[in-house]
């Protein structure tokens, strides 16, 4: 995934997204992060400042993991 910084007109490439099949993107302005819903790759949070990608996936009987790995929508206030 590439993100364009309009002020510098430069792209930043994020290679740690687990799949190329992206379904939804939400920019969290308050936290300067991108939330990316994928098809079977889980939900990803990209820290724009550091480039760090955190992926949240469903893990069997773990009630604290996401409900599934398909994330067709990303909205403010959604629970993981």
pLDDT digits (tens, 9 = 90+) for 20-79: 788 888 888 888 898 988 888 888 999 988 989 998 887 778 777 676 766 666 766 655
Q: The pTM is what?
A: 0.73
For residue 19, the Cα-to-chain-centroid distance in whole angstroms is 11
pLDDT at 9: 95
Report, in angstroms and rounded to the nearest whole number, the Rg of the chain calculated over CA atoms.
13
pLDDT at 10: 93
CA distance 68 to 78: 14
């Amino acid at each position: 995934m590439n993100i364009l910084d309009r002020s510098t007109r430069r792209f930043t490439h994020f290679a740690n997204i687990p799949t190329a099949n992206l379904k939804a993107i939400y920019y969290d302005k308050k936290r300067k992060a991108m939330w990316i819903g994928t098809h079977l790759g889980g939900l990803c949070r990209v820290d724009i400042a550091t480039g760090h990608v955190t992926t949240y996936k469903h893990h069997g009987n773990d009630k604290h993991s996401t409900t599934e790995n398909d994330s067709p929508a990303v909205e403010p206030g959604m629970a993981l």
